[in-house]
Structure 1
Amino acid sequence: MKLKTRAGSVVFDNVTKTYGHGAVTAIDNVSFTIHPGELVTLLGPSGCGKTTTLRMIAGLEHATSGRILIGDKDVTQLPATDRDVSMVFQSYALFPHMTVAENVAYGLSVTGVAKAEAKEKAEEGLNLVGLAGYGSRLPSELSGGQQQRVAVARALVLEPEVLLLDEPLSNLDAKLRRHVRTEIRDLQQKLGLTVVYVTHDQEEALAVSDRIIVMNRAVIAQQGTPRELYEQPQSEFIADFIGDANLVDGEIVSVDGDLATIDIGGINCNLRHRGQSKGPARIAVRPDAVRLSILSGAAGGDVIETSLKGHITHATYLGSQMQYSVTTPVGELFVIDHRIDTPIAAGEQVAIGFSERGMAVVSTK
């Protein structure tokens, strides 16, 4: 017997969710589409509405207004039991007195699937997540990563149109999180699953997602591919939330087609203006887009000619990179430099340059 995959779409059409007779708005007129076979992450700070959105897809919360469709079926008013979705909770919610196989088969059993079929599907589910032969163990005999995989297997055997993952890696240590997120992504792509994934971890979202929907204060702040969000943030919030960013003041001095010449502390850069006109602007500068050179000599072999200078206030060695705090006329800059063999000491005066890759205009002042 082979588990079926029936990847469905998810559509939010002007969905609003309020509590307390409208006193609190958790989701405010949100619309988006998740296509079959996509892994889309809902990302944002605590209280932004991402978990409420996930729970509304699951049917654990109901929309105050708007429509929710799963696989072209309007499920807005349907209870969780009538929606073709499975959810993996943050706590995994495994039954400690049941074996691993019994945990995986539980959902099938309560829906009336014959015992022999449920057992066969449970074995296949465990095989899919790399836990063949673990069925007779108790959850307490497994590591955190293995317990997480049991929870995923339990969801997969129900053959849902949509798999929902609520902070699935939050209980794991950093190294194991990297390993398990790769497993989840590989499984999703292998089976062609539609997955909606909630996390507050930006690196995790960048690593696993086809697309990311960033939420803030009950609305969508921006959505797009990981590369689009990182390289072309549309607001100061996105620039600061997705990865690190230095937000500095600049001046759009001229516009030519899609590009603008922007002055930052006397340095001219050519960036996409994205509809902004001449005048003061805010620029997001990624830490690895800043180039440093000591004024008294070369760091890494060359001195950058620039009118922007500063001095190193902190220098930190992190194995694969150096991290610097640099005081400059355009503000304090956080800098990542991979030239670990030629570190710059705290207190050194430096010349500063910019790589245009990793910079974006995020607003006009």
Structure 2
Amino acid sequence: MTNDDLRGSVRFESVRKSFGAHVAIRDLSLTIRPGTLVTLLGPSGCGKTTTLRMLAGLEQPTSGRILIGGRDVTALPANERDVSMVFQSYALFPHMSVAENVAYGLRSSGLGRKPATEKAEQGLELVGLAGYGGRLPSELSGGQQQRVAVARALVLEPQVLLLDEPLSNLDARLRRRVRTEIRELQQRLGFTAVYVTHDQEEALAVSDEIVVMRDGEAAQIGAPRDLYEEPASEFIADFIGEANVVACEILGHGAGRARIRIGGYEHEMAARPVPSGAGRLAIRPNAVYLREADGGFGGRVLSAAYLGDHVEYEIETAAGTLFVTDPAVERVRPVGSSVGLGLAERGVAIIPSSPRGGRQVPPQTGRSA
């Protein structure tokens, strides 16, 4: 493979990072293909930001290697790694114009004023801010300021663009719009991006692949659909979306399908090969549908909340208490009423045995905490 083929690729080879006695990253091995957007996702303290900072050259690994474009950059300082970072605070200079902010890195690297200004204007055009170069950052909205920060990083033509919680300072509606803009820009220009967030919905929306991190390790790596529909552990099932995790009996498997029993109710579903016997089942709240009391397996409504486009229920069953979302808002089942429950074809997954990857759920409840 040539250097051109490797440009934009990233590899972590058995990377470990310790801060004194605290191990922040444990033996991380990860390959990021050129031209893809990969998200590091996980709860606070899982190691995602430390991983990004090691890639940026702001932290040094305790052991292992980091390669960018096939080149070992483990010991190189940040300014020699050919990466650019977009910070959650944007880090724009308030006294400089938008164009000056975008051109700042170019000027610092020795490019003349005129070519730097021209490239800055091109960068602003890329992110839909042509004509905004003369304004101050304070004259822009939060979403526009974020796009200026992205333009400033892109004009340096890095092999890899790093984004550290880039939308955390935006309100919910603006977050949705800006994340779409970032994704469309990445796909149009084809650059490699590594994106850090704790927001599961954000990760699902923008990523080619997601690295779900937990306690300094990669708990699961895969495409958004794979992680959502085939979680490798209870932790993944509950972290990527929400899931009820309950005990089940696996009756048999063949031709990519399994038959399971839960609370006396039998259900057939697509599944990876699994042995027969006791198992665990992750059930998405929208994969449970309500029937009359004499259908499916029985339950009793413990709570009901009308939320406009759906109703949220907690339903007590023989398998545990299930959290259920139902789009049938025209009929809200009263608390204390008996209902029958069935399972949809999608949104139900058998959880593989994984001593470290999951967490045990008390038998009296089916919903992961």
TM-score normalised to the size of structure 1?
0.92
| Shift of residue 126, structure 1, vs aligned partner | 0.9
2:299 aligned to which of 293, 310, 317: 310
Name the aligned partner's letter for residue 335 of structure 2. Answer: A
2:126 aligned to which of 122, 125, 128: 128
Q: Does 1:208 align with 2:206?
A: yes
Q: Distance in 2 between matches of 1:321 and 1:273?
A: 28
2:260 aligned to which of 259, 262, 268: 262
Is contact 1:43–1:213 with CA below 8 Å preserved after alignment? yes
Q: Does 1:8 align with 2:5?
A: no
Tell me which residue corresponds to 1:247: 245
Deviation string 1:160-188 (CA, Å, 9 cap, x unpaired) is: 01000000000000000000000000000
2:172 aligned to which of 171, 174, 186: 174
SS of residue paired to 1:33: strand
| Shift of residue 256, structure 1, vs aligned partner | 3.4
SS of residue paired to 2:237: helix
Deviation string 1:72-97 (CA, Å, 9 cap, x unpaired) is: 11111110010110000111111111
Tell me how many residue pairs correspond in the alignment: 349
Is contact 1:254–1:261 with CA below 8 Å preserved after alignment? yes
Is contact 2:38–2:194 with CA below 8 Å preserved after alignment? yes
In structure 1, runs of 5+ residues without a counterpart are 1-5, 296-303
Is contact 1:294–1:348 with CA below 8 Å preserved after alignment? no
Deviation string 1:24-46 (CA, Å, 9 cap, x unpaired) is: 11111111111111011000111
Name the aligned partner's letter for residue 139 of structure 1. Answer: P
| Shift of residue 278, structure 1, vs aligned partner | 2.5
SS of residue paired to 1:197: strand
After superposition, residues 1-365 of structure 1 pair within 5 angstroms as 8-20=8-20, 23-256=21-254, 258-271=256-269, 274-295=272-293, 305-306=295-296, 308-364=297-353
Is contact 2:37–2:207 with CA below 8 Å preserved after alignment? yes
Name the aligned partner's letter for residue 18 of structure 2. Answer: T
Deviation string 1:309-365 (CA, Å, 9 cap, x unpaired) is: 112222222222222111111111111112223332333210011113111111459
Name the aligned partner's letter for residue 359 of structure 1. Answer: V
Q: Distance in 2 between matches of 1:175 and 1:348?
A: 37
Deviation string 1:110-167 (CA, Å, 9 cap, x unpaired) is: 1101110110011111111111111111111111111111110110110101000000
| Shift of residue 273, structure 1, vs aligned partner | 5.5
Q: Distance in 2 between matches of 1:176 and 1:123?
A: 24
SS of residue paired to 2:143: helix
User: Structure 1 residues 7 and 144, CA, compared in 2 at 3 Å: closer, same or farther?
Assistant: farther
Tell me which residue corresponds to 1:300: none
Q: Distance in 2 between matches of 1:243 and 1:17?
A: 29
| Shift of residue 264, structure 1, vs aligned partner | 0.6
Name the aligned partner's letter for residue 126 of structure 2. Answer: L
In structure 2, runs of 5+ residues without a counterpart are 1-5, 354-359, 361-369
Is contact 2:253–2:273 with CA below 8 Å preserved after alignment? no
Superposition CA RMSD, Å: 1.6
SS of residue paired to 1:344: coil
Give percent identity, aligned residues only: 62
SS of residue paired to 1:313: strand
Is contact 1:265–1:330 with CA below 8 Å preserved after alignment? yes
Deviation string 1:195-225 (CA, Å, 9 cap, x unpaired) is: 1000000000000001101110111100110
SS of residue paired to 1:198: strand
Is contact 1:212–1:226 with CA below 8 Å preserved after alignment? yes
Q: Distance in 1 between matches of 2:41 and 2:236?
A: 11
Tell me which residue corresponds to 1:301: none
Is contact 2:7–2:70 with CA below 8 Å preserved after alignment? no
Q: Distance in 1 between matches of 2:29 and 2:248?
A: 34
Deviation string 1:256-289 (CA, Å, 9 cap, x unpaired) is: 3543321111111234554542222111001111
TM-score normalised to the size of structure 2?
0.91
Q: Distance in 2 between matches of 1:225 and 1:323?
A: 28
Is contact 1:7–1:193 with CA below 8 Å preserved after alignment? no
Is contact 1:14–1:30 with CA below 8 Å preserved after alignment? yes
Tell me which residue corresponds to 2:357: none
Deviation string 1:286-311 (CA, Å, 9 cap, x unpaired) is: 1111011243xxxxxxxx722x2112
Is contact 1:10–1:35 with CA below 8 Å preserved after alignment? yes
| Shift of residue 240, structure 1, vs aligned partner | 0.6
